Structure 1
Amino acid sequence: MNKKNMKKLFLLDGMALIFRAHFALIRNPRINSKGVNTSAPMGFVNSLLEILKKQNPTHIAVSFDLSAPTFRHEMYKEYKANRQETPEDISIAIPIVKKIVDAFNIPRIEKEGFEADDVIGTLAKKASASGFQTFMMTPDKDYAQLVDENTFLYRPSTKGGIEILGPKEVLEKFDLDRIDQVIDLLGLQGDAVDNIPGVPGVGPKTAVKLLKEYSTVEGIIDNVDKLKGKLKERVQDNKEQAILSKELATIKLDVPVVFDEEALKVQEPNKEELVKIFNDLEFKTLLQRVFPGEKPKKVAPKPGEQTSLFGGAPKAATKIETESEEIPVEIRIDDINTIDKNYRLIDSDERCKELADYLLSKTELAFDTETTSLDSLEAQPVGISFSTKKDEGYYVPLSLEKEEAIKTLAHFTEVFNNEKILKIGQNLKYDIQVLDNLDVQVKGPFFDTMLAHYLIEPDKRHNMDTLSEAYLNYKPVSIETILGKKGKKQKNMRDIPAHEVYEYACEDADVTLQLKEKLSPILSEKGVESLFNDLEIPLMEILRLMEKEGVNLDSNSLETYSVTLGEQIDELEKDIYQLAGEEFTISSPKQLGVILFEKMKLVDKPKKTKTGQYATGEEILQGLKEHEIVGKILDFRQLNKLKSTYVDALPKLTKTDGRVHTTYNQAVAATGRLSSTDPNLQNIPIRSSRGKEIRKAFVARNEDYIFMAADYSQVELRIMAAFSGDTSMIEAFKQGKDIHTATAAKVFKVEESEVDSDMRRKAKTANFGIIYGVSAFGLSQQLDIPRSEAKQLIDAYFEEFPSVKKYMDDVINKAREVEYVETLMGRRRYLRDINSRNFTVRGMAERNAINAPIQGTAADIIKKAMIDIQAWMSTQDLKSKMIMQVHDELIFDVHKDEFELMKNKVQELMESAFKIAVPLEVEVGEGANWLEAH
């Protein structure tokens, strides 16, 4: 039969794919507004859609393991006995994924007493005999024993990509002569995950060598007398165990399941059920992929029903929901006018005066601007909306003519200047800057709903639509209903008449006001009200001023450097062509893979991506950099990235004033640290000589000014010393010693004068690694030393600094009780997995428990310093400006006449920003540019 006309069957190992999806996103889990981890269902659906849309199967089925013991447990009681507890999030995900499979109208085939691989193996062999081309989709390598000319292992990787393995690929991958030897290989080497014992001390290489000589496990046992030394002894002592292990590893092909070709045909999904599930999971993008044009909506529970598919709302979400005095019924976008809302268009001077008088009588005011751009410095406001009570809103359109807009806004000057009115907004920094562009000064007090939610739930999304759905059970009108879908045809707000905008705009202000009412008491309940009012809100205005000020950029020097980099890239290109023996597109992964792995054959079994081409990512090439061509390719990539991302891009980011104006993000990093975009200042390279040239281009505004950089020295280590109360560490800092030398002396038990550079390097890596909860494996990789040596180093560290170990244990134990950790100023990091029975998931939460209070406290300290410095500067009538914040460093554009005053006062205020058990130390540098100052 022509293979093109073959029926195509996909058999999915449901449980294996759920685990893969969960752990693939373990560092960045997808948490919905109910607080539920939806990583596994999302990953499973994505995998399923990839198959349905790109592989076009004619038939499909999914098999799941059942909870009942299998025949393998009867054969060997210890089978899978050492498996970790299933993570709670996976236990929740399994029934959801099954509902999804059912809603797709895909058969679920399960059989008590057997595992999914037995069911799939049986079906695959029956399908092959019936003329099917069968693909077994699973990350489990054990399925390799099942492949034949019509049966393939379709194996996804957690790092992305797909391996499709037929007989040829399996034999190459495992270095075997026959497919049935896969079972013998698994039997000999055992499986720690399934607790299949194998033969102790026999790994893959030894097993393959034995199989090449003696063919099977039984053949090896029959010829045990020909073996030598320890290997002979191990095989001799474990004969029965080896046979048992082979039996345990053998996938059954005679499970009593029916192969019903008609039932396995791909069908249209149950739209109603699938839409309901996706809405409940908040899978908006996936909903559009499956049913284009279907509007996402909140699934409103009926009285007495559970709130979701998850067996009730999770703990974190329940409290928020029950605090609501009323939960409005579901409101769809196209139903908005059925709700009694007082939204009004204010389009005359007379009505503006009336509105201003009305607003002046209020103590709280939510406002929102509608603009032409997301760039707050370039955006032109086209209107402004106000709300002072629920379901009320007023929209004032503004002319694009600046003078006319200023004239209209003048009616509200007194409102914005009134310090008795609380100004409420979502991402207020943006709106305040937009108004500042029109000379309107907005004075506090302020309440930013985005920042409030950031402190309440730092790991979640903080956009208004998400918050509205979570806290108000209300879905606001989408911006796309006004402007159209994103893309070239999307309109600009300037193109929309006021009468078409005002309801949308009023709703934004109204929703923001309602969110304030919900979030304000939660700030108090969570103990972060002071952090909000005394740190984040004051910082918001400081960041706005820094963004507005910007930093001078020497674009000419970058253009010159770009030419230099271009020449270096050209030279590398020539060298690579010479080593490859031909010219090709180096930046093309496909062409590069062919050169490296087909022509030059750098490795025997190169990895491939899901598209079937060779994997040439950074991680792959780093493992091959001993080859000269690979080293040059990595260099080529680095220079290209440096050139395109920074050297060529930075001059394009300058405004008409010739300065770069980054945007600081307060509500992104869960630890409390600031991030920045356009450009990302935190990622500007400084370690390499090439990267330093970029910092050199950030220069003082003119010859009367000088750059000043003030940098906290080893602030996180100092905080660790303070938290742990370790007397040795504290004393070292108080005496001004080099902490890494002092640490090395203790760990290696030598005098400080005897510490060499290698000892100091290892101690430094350990010092910073301990803060991040580094394991022996992690430290061994960082230092490129054996794991045993890394373990000895960590053990010696804790022996010399027992208080550090006690702090780590104490903070984890406390986190297990309350499920969060705190900084010195009360910033919380919630650790929902700290009590997980799965040690991989729990281990990650434990590392966060150790690090988050330290890194978060460092972030809080520099924020407090910025507030103190700006408060002092505003009283001095200075020409100098604070212009950048990067990690633990503050950068100033300092007038030369004010340098000594600024240097002394900034250092004083930074060092006194917060009192801890060790002195905070600040190093101050100066220069004509950032590189010199740093």
Structure 2
Amino acid sequence: MTDKKTLLLVDGSSYLYRAFHAMPDLRAVPGDPKSPATGAIRGMINMMTALRREVRADYAACIFDAPGKTFRDDLYPEYKANRSPMPDDLRSQIDPIHEVVKLMGWPVLCVPDIEADDVIGTLAKTAAGQGIEVIVSSGDKDLSQLVDEHITIIDTMNGKKRDVAGVTSEFGVPPNLMIDYQTLVGDAVDNVPGVEKVGPKTAAKWLLEYGSLDALIERAAEVKGQAGENLRKALGKLPLSRQLVTIRTDCDLATHVAGLPSLEGLPVGAPQTAELKPFYERFGFKSLVKSLEALEVPPELIEENIKKQMARGGAASTDQGGLFDESTELGALEAAAPASNLQYETVTTWEQFDAWLAKLEAAELAAIDTETTSLDEMVARIVGVSFSIEPGAAAYVPLTHNYPDAPAQLPIDEVLARLKPWLENPAKKKLGQHIKYDRHVLANHGIEVQGYAHDTMLQSYVLEAHRPHGLASLAERHLGRSGISYEDLCGKGAHQIPFSQVDIAKAAEYSCEDSDQTLDVHLALWPQIERDEKLRFIYQLEMDSSEALYRVERNGVLIDAPTLAAQSHELGTRIMALEQEAYEIAGQPFNLGSPKQIGEIFFTKLGLPVVKKTPSGAPSTDEEVLEKLAEDYPLPAKILEHRGLSKLKGTYTDKLGQLANPRTGRVHTHYAQAVAVTGRLSSNDPNLQNIPIRTPEGRRVREAFIAPAGSVIASADYSQIELRIMAHISGDESLLRAFRDGIDVHRATAAEVFGSTPDQVSSEQRRYAKVINFGLIYGMSSFGLARNLGIETKAAASYIERYFARYPGVKAYMDETKALAKEKGYVETVFGRRLYLPEINSPNGPRRGGAERAAINAPMQGTAADLIKLSMIKVQNVLDEEKRATRMIMQVHDELVFEVPEAEVEWVRTEIPRLMAGVAELKVPLLAEIGIGPNWDKAH
């Protein structure tokens, strides 16, 4: 072990912004938007805890920017002029963050008149000059100029390491040229001028060619083209820019760091448990308070442990690293187990297995995780399985690792046979992360798991749908824990090895960690759901939906490959014909997929009008431009049709047949629950949501979704569901009356807007009313409505004004919803699903406007998603209870699709719409309609 010392410098200003944006809108009093914001504080605790665990250090400091101006403001008054002011909710958390970081044992520096970067630069170079290794933890690329053989920058949020090789690889120049590089590129965030239109590639190319900025300036006359012209124009500004981007390494810090330059004034201290507890109580961090109370290690033993660790160089253990044993990590959440007490076991004997099986049988709740051969749940086979029943303890049972010299493993068939009674016992409660996947994997081995009580992915989705829900993100965000990644074990890309070839010892650590962290995350998240009645309802809805979706995915849908092949041939013929037609109009062959060639033909050869330009100033040929030009010109219309048919062919008619499972002959799409913030499902491999149905060719794809002999396809969907939800939520009497009386709501709206009776409404007026009805649900402006209807904006504004005059309840709902969203930061569905809107109070107008439109629409989309999930669950339960042979095979938007034996057609025709209409009682009746046919298209 080396005796070389290490200094760890934390860019606190970078950390606190990351913490603020990464965490939900937590409050000291949950649910009270007027109580102090605490999300950034909690995130900071998590991040500092994780960093302390991961990095061993002898000295450390967390450095923050001090308020007020610095020398750069004197040099350049416009410095950082473009930066948005710090959000009030973040500003209010700055002092508490400084306080808690100190209480966690970190020296804190906040030096007046000196930016945090300059403090970091001075300390880093001072330490490096003494032969001390320096690690800077920051996501700020500007600090790369400090890197040398003694100074390394790490970004723990994304695993990035910037040493000399890392900086050179990332930026194209070595660290000693980074100041020159930054001077040329400039910094839009800090308002530092660079050379106009000179980006990273050009800057790196120049510096490698000329050797330095000074040499480049001397030979500026040699640089050709527009870039050279811009360089010469910028010569007068470059000295100032260089001063602004250069991090100072010679600041006078002696009054702020005792003992400089020896760094003895920056020792890492023990967390101050006595002071941390009232701090956590003050800000409502109940789980953190519990974690402190649960610690049985007296403070004097912690101090003794620190002394021992420092005496032997600060290494806690060979596999965990860090200054302290995990029992001293007092910033960790209650669920974060002490790493020094981790009991991860690799089960390779029957004696070990039987002991763990007995533990599972006796446990109130057990976390389970499978390691497999594939991400495709329908074909994946088990490589190993892990369990955890208490924080810090887990076991891995390797089963089919097959690398050379792999240790003997228990036989998979016998292990699964012994596990099967426990797995299939609904009374034995189980927990997982994305349990639907594990259910499929175990089903591939003939095990139908019962008793799944919790899914941490779905817990996160219910609590904070707008954030990532992977286990690594959850552990980092809620526990301050990080772990081994799949890529760490298996590699990436072409060099990635199968999990079965991973060393068993490493696989055991990885899999045990997954089960252990899953249990820890559950202990952190479940109490937040359990105490809120609405969240409990939504969580149970998601858990029940997971069960129903598992059944739908398992069933799959039969695909008619010959029909698809015939459609592909027809599409191919039409695509070729379109190419020839486009060539004739253009007067020459060209690549229909090349924006450059299309632009030359449109604007140079044919003289079509320029609708808009790209950021570089060239005429745009994007989809929006093509659609606009297609209204008046044939060539853009041909290109659009060509693109649409090519996509249809490549995505569906060519590939659907290939996606059929060889074992079942069916396509088994994967439904992702935890993706759309509104609660809607998404599907992939194949994506059934995006099959285009507005064109005849797109609709025909559904002809290939068929039923086997003796069965038919039934499609049931809700009629005008979002408009009905709007009527319910807004309580507008005119809308309610239209739905209660069974009137055509678009005709009723047209009569209101155009001042006529329903029987006098023309088809054109009804079409206008339909666009208005659906457009306003999505927060459409008068400009958007005008564009959709092809009318003047003034006329569209008049229609909207008349609409709101006739439907005042809708206008009141929209105004009240936006105000409530601004106050709470989220809106809710009818059933209580929370739909967070991070940009609702943004100072950026377009972002705020987008969030306001989302606030209006999200409760309707979300409620529709809740209703279709309720229907899916109810129908599946009835099918099971009555032992029906009918199978649910797809869920698409507001539609459920079934494979129905002919003997059950009449039952399905009557009962499915009745069940769907009865899942909830709104102020207007729900209406579900059903169609039946030999394929999905004919069932519509």
- TM-score normalised according to structure 2 size: 0.68
Change (3 A) 1:735 1:465: same
- Code of the residue aligned with 1:623 in structure 2: it is K
CA distance in 2, matches of 1:858, 1:96: 49
Mapped contact 1:777–1:787 kept (Cα < 8 A) = yes
CA distance in 2, matches of 1:763, 1:818: 33
SS where residue 931 of structure 1 aligns?
coil
Identify the residue that residue 621 of structure 1 maps to in structure 2.
Answer: 626
Identify which of 435, 440, 447 aligns with 1:440: 447
Equivalent positions of 1:326-341 (< 5 A) are 326=292, 335-336=319-320, 339-340=339-340, 341=342
Change (3 A) 1:686 1:314: farther
CA distance in 2: counterparts of 1:838 and 1:332, whole angstroms: 47
State how far apart, in whole Å, the 1-side matches of 2:666 and 2:856 are: 40
Conservation of the 8 A alpha-carbon contact between 2:827 and 2:834: yes
TM score, norm. by length of structure 1: 0.68
Letter in 2 for 1:476: G
Which secondary structure does the structure 2 equivalent of 1:344 belong to? strand
Residues 611 and 619 in structure 2, CA contact (< 8 A), matched pair in contact too: no
- Number of matched pairs: 706
1:471 pairs, out of 468, 478, 489, with: 478
How far apart, in 2, do the equivalents of 1:651 and 1:342 lie?
48
Q: 1:457 to 1:331 in 2, by over 3 A?
A: farther
Aligned residue for 2:320, secondary structure, equals helix
Matched, 1:597 2:603: yes
Question: Who is 2:772 aligned against?
Answer: 766
1:696-715 deviation per Cα after TM superposition (whole angstroms, max 9, x unaligned): 11111x22000001110001
Matched, 1:264 2:242: yes
Structure 1 equivalent of residue 468 of structure 2:
461
Give the C-alpha shift of residue 730 in structure 1: 1.3
Aligned to 1:491: 497
Give how far 1:269 is off. Answer: 8.5
**Structure 1, residues 81-119: CA drift from partner, whole Å, max 9, x if none?**
xx999977999999999994753559xxxxxxxxxxxxx
Contact 1:883 1:892 in 2 (8 A): yes
Deviation, 1:842, is: 3.3
For the 8 Å contact 2:611–2:625, the answer to whether it is kept is no
| Contact 1:456-1:526 at 8 Å conserved across structures | no
Q: Tell me if the contact between 1:105 and 1:267 (Cα under 8 Å) persists in the aligned partners.
A: no
Where 1:623 maps in the other structure, the secondary structure is helix
- Contact kept, 8 Å, 2:459 with 2:539, in 1: the verdict is no
* Stretches of structure 1 lacking an aligned partner (at least 5 in a row): 1-21, 23-28, 38-61, 69-79, 107-132, 157-253, 272-299, 306-312
Partners in 1 of 2:609 and 2:562 — Cα distance?
Answer: 45
Give the match for residue 347 of structure 2. Answer: 346
Kept in 2, the 8 Å contact 1:380–1:400? The answer is no
Residue identity matched to 2:143: A
Q: Relative to 1, partners in 2 of residues 1:389 and 1:822: Cα closer, same or farther, differing over 3 Å?
A: same
1:559-570 map, 5 Å: 559-570=565-576
By how many angstroms is 1:405 displaced? 2.4
Moved more, 412-421 or 665-674: 412-421
Say whether the 8 Å CA contact 1:86–1:837 is kept in structure 2.
no
2:522 corresponding residue in structure 1: 516
| Partner-residue secondary structure (3-state), 2:493 | coil
What is the alpha-carbon distance in structure 1 between the residues aligned to residue 445 and residue 355 of structure 2? 22
Query: Cα deviations across residues 450-491 of structure 1 (Å, max 9, x unaligned)?
Result: 00000000100000000000111010111112111x211100
* Unaligned 5+ runs, structure 2: 1-16, 26-38, 41-74, 95-114, 119-138, 147-182, 201-232, 250-267, 274-278, 296-305, 307-313, 326-338, 403-408
Name the aligned partner's letter for residue 797 of structure 2. K
Pick from 779, 782, 793: which aligns with 1:776?
Answer: 782
Residues 266 and 617 from structure 1, CA distance in 2 versus in 1: closer, same or farther, beyond 3 angstroms?
farther
Structure 1 residue 574 corresponds to structure 2 residue 574: no
- AA aligned to 2:22 is N
AA of the residue aligned to 2:725: I
Q: Does 1:422 align with 2:462?
A: no
Q: Which amino acid aligns with 2:913?
A: Q
In structure 2, C-alpha distance between the alignment counterparts of 1:332 and 1:603, rounded to whole Å: 69
Aligned amino acid, residue 547 of structure 2: E
Q: Distance in 1 between matches of 2:611 and 2:723?
A: 44
Is the 2:721–2:926 Cα contact (8 Å) retained in structure 1?
yes
Q: Counterparts of 2:284 and 2:881 in 1: how far apart (Å)?
A: 47
User: In the alignment, which residue of structure 2 is the partner of 1:672?
Assistant: 679
User: 2:320 is aligned with what amino acid?
Assistant: I
Which digits, 9 at most, give the CA deviation of each residue in 1:218-239, with x for residues without a partner?
Answer: xxxxxxxxxxxxxxxxxxxxxx
Distance in 1, matches of 2:612 and 2:832, equals 50
Q: For residues 333 and 572 of structure 1, what CA distance do their matches in structure 2 show?
A: 68
Q: Partner of 2:105 in structure 1?
A: none
Q: Please say which of residues 592-601 and 459-468 is displaced more in the overlay.
A: 592-601
CA contact (8 A) 2:280 2:286 kept: no
Work out whether 1:875 is the aligned partner of 2:853: no
1:318 & 1:908 partners in 2: Cα distance? Answer: 47
SS at match of 1:882: strand
CA contact (8 A) 1:392 1:510 kept: yes
Counterpart AA for 1:475? S
2:637 equivalent in structure 1: 631
List per-residue Cα deviations over 1:482-539 (Å, max 9, x = no partner): 111x211100012224233111111100000011100101113454443245311111
Q: Deviation of residue 857 (structure 1)?
A: 1.1
The CA deviation at 1:134 is 8.2
Q: Distance in 2 between matches of 1:467 and 1:443?
A: 25
Distance 1:304 1:361, change over 3 A: closer
1:812–1:33 distance in 2 versus 1, CA, 3 Å: closer
**Structure 2 vs 1, CA of residues 915 and 466 (structure 1 numbering), >3 Å: closer, same or farther?**
same
Letter in 2 for 1:336: Q
Return the letter of the residue paired with 1:458: A
Alignment match of 1:925 (pick from 915, 925, 931): 931
Q: Give the whole-Å Cα distance in 1 for the aligned partners of 2:698 and 2:916.
A: 28
Aligned to 1:325: 291
| Aligned partners of 1:84 and 1:839 also within 8 Å | no
SS class of match (2:495) = coil
Tell me by how many angstroms 1:882 deviates.
0.6
Summarize the alignment of residues 226-305 of structure 1 with structure 2, pairs less than 5 Å apart. 261=239, 264=242
Paired with 1:786 and 1:90, the residues of 2 have a C-alpha distance of 44
CA contact (8 A) 1:137 1:154 kept: no
Give the match for residue 55 of structure 1: none
2:738 to 712, 732, 735: 732
Question: Residues 105 and 270 of structure 1 are in contact (CA less than 8 Å); yes or no, is this contact kept in structure 2?
Answer: no
Partners of 1:442 and 1:604 in 2: CA distance: 60
Residues 348, 335 of structure 1: CA spacing in aligned structure 2 closer, same or farther, 3 A cutoff?
Answer: closer
**For 1:588 and 1:316, how far apart are their aligned partners in 2?**
61
Q: Secondary structure at the match of 1:894?
A: strand
* Structure 2 CA distance for aligned equivalents of residues 342 and 101 of structure 1: 39
Cα deviation, residue 622, structure 1? 2.5
**Which residue of the partner structure matches residue 78 of structure 2?**
65
Correspondence for 2:31: none
Secondary structure in 1 matching 2:380: coil
For residues 613 and 541 of structure 1, do their structure 2 counterparts lie closer, same or farther at Cα, with a shift above 3 Å needed? same
Rounded Cα–Cα distance in structure 2 between residues aligned with 1:605 and 1:860: 41
Which residue in 2 is equivalent to 1:861?
867
In structure 2, the CA distance between the partners of 1:780 and 1:551, relative to structure 1 (3 Å rule), is same
2:689 to 673, 682, 685: 682
Deviation at 1:839, TM superposition (A): 4.5
Q: Identify if the C-alpha distance between structure 1 residues 724 and 261 changes in structure 2 by more than 3 Å, giving closer, same or farther.
A: closer
Q: For residues 683 and 500 of structure 1, what CA distance do their matches in structure 2 show?
A: 41
Q: 1:712·1:923 contact (CA, 8 Å) conserved in 2?
A: yes
CA distance in 2, matches of 1:377, 1:655: 8
Alpha-carbon distance between aligned partners in 2 of 1:629 and 1:556, rounded to the nearest angstrom: 33
TM-superposed CA distance for 1:576, in Å, is: 1.6
Partner of 1:389: 390
Query: How far apart in 1 are the matches of 2:370 and 2:509?
Result: 13
Q: Give the distance between the partners of 1:529 and 1:601, measured in 2 at CA.
A: 59
Tell me, yes or no, if the aligned pair for 2:426 and 2:450 is still in contact at 8 Å: yes
Q: 1:134-149 residue pairs with structure 2 within 5 A? A: none
Give the corresponding residue for 2:827: 821
Displacement after TM superposition at 1:540 (Å): 0.7
Q: Percent identity?
A: 38
Q: What is the CA deviation profile of residues 408-433 of structure 1, one whole-angstrom value per residue up to 9, with x for unaligned ones?
A: 11221232133333211000000111
Q: 1:600 to 1:64 in 2, by over 3 A?
A: farther
Aligned residues of 1:550 and 1:661 also touching (Cα < 8 A): yes
